[in-house]
Structure 1
């Protein structure tokens, strides 16, 4: 493995370890030394790759976005209903093929279920880290860049479903999904809610998609 590849792997390990630390202990637990220990790296490794706390948090934003989008790429993105029916490409790129709302709802629900169960700690860290950008203007650009991917993906899905203004509709869909996640993971009644149910999430996702397209 070349030195650049080793450096990339080390940065990913550091970001993953930092995310787990934030999920477990909040931002107060995020120090370079703590990340070194959690990652099993020699002292000073984290500060070598990310000199400041701001740089470390920015790396967490980028890694969270990569992992979240990977959940869709891992088989949850809905397939078009009929690729042959897709409009011809334009000078702005290939137009999205038409989709079925039920398939889209099932795909969104599958990702929400993953984030409420096996991906729970990652989402808790994302909420915690996102709040830091409101206090530190240096992080606002990094958070915006990281958040574009999910909104672009949602816009593509909604465009394929026939949305007249997919970008605007995507803002709503992502906001509703974030609200649902926050309510189930950290809201006042989070600890009293029943375990996440795929069927209930699919029904909720369908209602969100219908509302975004209305």
Structure 2
């Protein structure tokens, strides 16, 4: 007689819930995000999601944190403190171009969910602190890269680069021409990344 399988640790359940919630938002928008829907999609006992995240606001906050964690893992490769800064602008452009290609292909659904969940913070002020905190680490990483490339004001340049990157991703994923564009091309994205970096590093 086999022994019952032990339930996953609380941290693993929180991650499972956040990942499932993100997938639900990517598939059906925020209207499909309910505690009951997450329980069902994650094959968890009824009430599990509400046990860990009592409110919808708390659940969305968990999604912000998980999205930031996944994006940082993409930036760092192995989820560590980060790779060495690129040696020059060409290397930085290749790094960013590769990241953009990843987010427009294998990471497409996650980025769509990120945009949808981010818009919710504009409607619910309680979510703004969680969204802001989730966005700080990636901007800090970008500022470190820009500082290594000689940016005189790396934090300001990182804000611009983050805005341009989000704009490019949104345009390619959900913009007016998103469905008529050819498949994402790494070389084209690297060229676009180089233009963004040149602009971010330009003297004021």
TM (norm. structure 1) is 0.88
Matching of residues 105-124 of structure 1 within 5 Å: 105-124=93-112
Structure 1 residue runs without a partner (length 5+): 82-98
Structure 2 residue runs without a partner (length 5+): 1-5
Aligned to 1:49: 52
Secondary structure at the aligned position of 2:182 is classed as coil
Q: Once the 2 structures are TM-superposed, how far is the Cα of residue 80 of structure 1 from its aligned partner?
A: 4.3
Counterpart CA distance in 1 for 2:56 and 2:18 is 12
CA contact (8 A) 1:78 1:107 kept: no
Give the 3 Å change call, closer, same or farther, for CA 56–80 of structure 1 in structure 2.
closer
Q: Once the 2 structures are TM-superposed, how far is the Cα of residue 79 of structure 1 from its aligned partner?
A: 3.9
Aligned to 1:37: 40
CA contact (8 A) 1:79 1:103 kept: no
CA contact (8 A) 2:75 2:99 kept: yes
CA contact (8 A) 2:77 2:83 kept: no
Give the 3 Å change call, closer, same or farther, for CA 42–68 of structure 1 in structure 2.
same
Matching of residues 2-21 of structure 1 within 5 Å: 6-21=9-24
Aligned to 2:155: 167
Secondary structure at the aligned position of 1:190 is classed as coil
Aligned to 2:3: none
- Please point out which of 76, 84, 89 is paired with 1:101: 89
Q: CA RMSD in A?
A: 1.8
Counterpart CA distance in 2 for 1:80 and 1:170 is 14
Matching of residues 165-204 of structure 1 within 5 Å: 165-204=153-192
Counterpart CA distance in 2 for 1:80 and 1:131 is 32
TM (norm. structure 2) is 0.92
Secondary structure at the aligned position of 2:21 is classed as helix
Counterpart CA distance in 1 for 2:198 and 2:170 is 21
Q: Once the 2 structures are TM-superposed, how far is the Cα of residue 44 of structure 1 from its aligned partner?
A: 0.6
Give deviations 1:103-138, integer Å, cap 9, x for gaps: 011111111100000000000000000000000010
Across the two proteins, how many residue pairs are aligned to each other?
Answer: 195
